[in-house]
Amino acid sequence: MQPLLKVQALSKSFNLRSGLFSRKRFEVLKDISFCLSQGETLAIIGETGSGKSTLAKLLAGADSADTGQILLDGNIIEDKGIRDQQCRHIRMIFQDSEASLNPGLTIGDMLDDCLQYNTSLDKQTRGEKITATLSKVGLLNDHQHYYPHMFSGGQLQRVALARALILDPKVVVLDEALSSLDPSVRAQTVNLLLKLQQDTGLSYILITHHLSLVRHISDQLVVLDHGEIVEYGKTEDIFQDPQSNVTQKLLSC
């Protein structure tokens, strides 16, 4: 089967100031490649500073890579840092849903903005689309007149998910989106994510510290260490028999 998302030899480096005029190159990601099929979940684990969040930003298009390609459905969407002008197929959910939503916009306006900037739908279809998306994530139609402060933490996570889903993406990147939630809310959110995956064949890229959650919902696992992939394979295999030192250390505690 043709993989949905294919990442080839992606690398990224930053320039850091080391002296008055001298600069040091700091390689955050080196030669990252992996594949993701439709309806699958890929988890990325690693220590802090190993480049997980940078990788998430590159995938979602919030930052551009130095070299390497990202292919979606066989089409190149990013090649050596030049991004195809489309952010609708890969969407991202951030860690702090409260801080990532605009407090001055109602939920309806915010979702409408996403559609206005990215599609050419007319006003009525946009309204229908918003209603459909809200009901998909388990919110009511009336919620579109609410402001973010009127929601609880679990509901805000649903709103963030609605914002990601409204453009019918193929891949959703969850950057620590589940780690700040309370256990029962997290259970609800995970259930919702799993249900959406079953119904629509959505793929997830999950970045988290929470290992039991990784084991439960992911199919493939990438272990990052200092910007390099040290282990990549089926989640269950890696959990059963970790090969590299880094993975063993991460999994042992």
Using CB under 8 A as the criterion, which residues of the chain lie in contact with other proteins when the complex forms? 47-49, 152-155, 180, 182-188, 190-191, 194-195, 197, 209, 211-213, 215-217, 236, 249-250, 253
In angstroms, the CA 83 to CA 114 distance is 19
Nearest-10 crossing angle of helices 153-165, 183-200? 20
CB of 115 to other proteins, least distance (A): 26
In angstroms, the CA 28 to CA 11 distance is 8
- Closest CB to other proteins among 89 and 186? 186
- Closest CB to other proteins among 123 and 249? 249
CB of 122 to other proteins, least distance (A): 34
- Closest CB to other proteins among 125 and 191? 191
CB of 208 to other proteins, least distance (A): 10
CB of 221 to other proteins, least distance (A): 13
CB of 41 to other proteins, least distance (A): 8
- Closest CB to other proteins among 35 and 192? 192
- The torsion defined by the Cα of 136, 137, 140 and 144, in degrees rounded to 10, comes to -100
- Closest CB to other proteins among 41 and 144? 41
